[in-house]
Amino acid sequence: MPRYFFHTCTRDRLFWDGTGLDLPEIANPEDPELTCALWSEVLDRQFRLGRTFVVMDEIGKVVFVAGF
């Protein structure tokens, strides 16, 4: 399973996720239902109004950016 990192930005600070999480491949999941459930749980925990988070894979490629 690949490792993803969830970096969080506020207006004046950037918080780097140095640990990351092992999650199923989002682009080509073997089990789409399980992948959706796991990613939904992680994203729900990351959600904070007024913050943006950047999800990167283990080689530093940005997977997606979400702002709230």
pTM of the predicted model as reported, rounded to 2 decimal places: 0.74
Instruction: Report helix, strand or coil for 40.
Output: helix
Domain layout of the chain by residue ranges: 3-67
What does the pLDDT look like over 32-44, one tens digit per residue? 888 778 877 877 7
What does the pLDDT look like over 5-59, one tens digit per residue? 988 888 888 889 999 988 888 777 788 888 778 877 877 777 666 778 888 999 9
Nearest one of 24, 19, 11, 22 to 67, comparing CA atoms: 11
